[in-house]
Amino acid sequence: MKDTDIKRLLYSNLLCVFSVFLSVFIPSLFLDNFSILETHLTWLCTCSTSVTGVNLLLHLVVKPNVSSRRSSLSHKVSRVLKCCIYFLLSCFFLHIIFVLYGAPLIELVLETFLFAVILSTFTTVPCLCLLGPNLKAWLRVFSRNGVTSIWENSLQITTISSFIGAWLGAFPIPLDWERPWQVWPISCTLGATFGYVAGLVSSPLWIYWNRKQLTYKSN
């Protein structure tokens, strides 16, 4: 592991953070009355698309993983299709988990689903970009001593911190402060976003500080 790798990781992560900020400021140029709280669903959509776009861009440009040997067109197409299906499945899965956690079943379905979409964007899309539609690899990354590169380490950290952020975001909901962001699912989406950003920023730093202890099996 070299310092240049960490630097590249830092820059690409900063680009992702930048995409989150971009999703806050860009739509206000085109839309009147745009604000995160008032037009929350619009923001969720733009944030999701911009983060996905930047992730794809990074995947195409930086290519941290070894590309597969077969590179025929049909293989690529099936791979992309598979990725889309995985993404949709993860959205539905997260939606079900939210409902099981206590989200309303019928009311606010669109809000809940968009929360699932944004959380999938923060967690599943980087996984898909880095590991491809390969569940075994995902399971490997999210287990002790399973990571094999700093990219996977960063992925692990950002995903876990996104989930923790979303989880922490649920806590202000019962409080009686009567703030507009205390409504389901705004606090949770904001929490997930903060968690994602925090993970992006902290993972290169954490890797940098622990670079002596970190040894990867196949790198």
Partner 1 sequence: MDSGEWDVLIAHFLGVDHCGHKHGPHHPEMAKKLSQMDQVIQGLIERLENDTLLVVAGDHGMTMNGDHGGDSELEVSAALFLYSPTALFPTAPPEEPEVIPQVSLVPTLALLLGLPIPFGNIGEVMTELFSGGHGSHPQASALAQVSALHINAQQVSRFLHAYSAATQDLQVKELHQLQKLFSKASASYQQLLQNPQEAGASLRTLTAELQQFLRGARAICLESWARFSLVRMAGGAALLAAACFLCLLASQLAVSPGFPFRPLLLTPVAWGLTWAMLYAGLSVTTGSKVDSVVLGAVAAAGSLPPFLWKVWANWGSTRPLVPLLPAPLPVLLLLLTRLATFFSDSFVVAEARATPFLLCSLILFLVAHLHWEDQLLQPKLLTVPRLGSSAPTGPPRHSGTYALRLGIGLLLCTRLSGLFHRCPEETPACHSSPWLSPLASMVGGQAKNLWYGACVGALVALLVVVRLWLRRYGNLKSPEPPVLFVRWGLPLMVLGTAAYWALASGADEAPPRLRALVAGASVMLPRAVMGLAASGLMLLLWRPVTVLVKAGAGASRTRTILTPFSGPPTSQADLDYVVPQIYRHMQEEFQGRLERTRTQGPVTVAAYQLGSVYSAAMVTALILLAFPLLLLHVERVSLVFLLLFLQSFLLLHLLAAGTSVTTTGPFVVLWQAVSAWALLANQTFYSTGHQPVFSAIHWHAAFVGFPDGHDSSTWLPALLVGANTFASHILFAVGCPLLLLWPFLCESQGPRKRQQLPGCEAEARARPEEEREEPLMEMRLRDAPHHFNAALLQLGLKYLFVLGVQILACALAASILRRHLMVWKVFAPKFIFEAIGFIVSSVGLLLGIALVMRVDGAVSSWFRRLVLAQQR
Give the nearest distance from C-beta 139 to partner 1 in angstroms.
Answer: 7
Q: Report the alpha-carbon distance of residue 27 to residue 38 in Å, rounded.
A: 13
Q: Report the alpha-carbon distance of residue 130 to residue 60 in Å, rounded.
A: 10
Give the nearest distance from C-beta 99 to partner 1 in angstroms.
Answer: 7
Give the nearest distance from C-beta 174 to partner 1 in angstroms.
Answer: 4
What does the block give as tokens for 62? 């930086």
Quick one: 29 or 105, whose CB is closer to partner 1?
Answer: 105
Give the nearest distance from C-beta 207 to partner 1 in angstroms.
Answer: 19
Count other Cβ atoms within 10 Å, centred on residue 9: 22
State CA 56 to chain mean position distance: 12
Please report, as ranges, the residues that interact with partner 1 according to CB under 8 A: 97, 99-102, 139-140, 142-146, 167, 170, 174-176
Quick one: 74 or 213, whose CB is closer to partner 1?
Answer: 213
Closest CA to 159 of 119, 123, 116: 123
Give the nearest distance from C-beta 182 to partner 1 in angstroms.
Answer: 10
What does the block give as tokens for 11? 């820059």
Quick one: 39 or 148, whose CB is closer to partner 1?
Answer: 148
Quick one: 66 or 100, whose CB is closer to partner 1?
Answer: 100
State CA 102 to chain mean position distance: 23
Quick one: 85 or 139, whose CB is closer to partner 1?
Answer: 139
Quick one: 6 or 141, whose CB is closer to partner 1?
Answer: 141
What DSSP element (H or E) covers 79?
A: helix 73-101
Give the nearest distance from C-beta 129 to partner 1 in angstroms.
Answer: 22
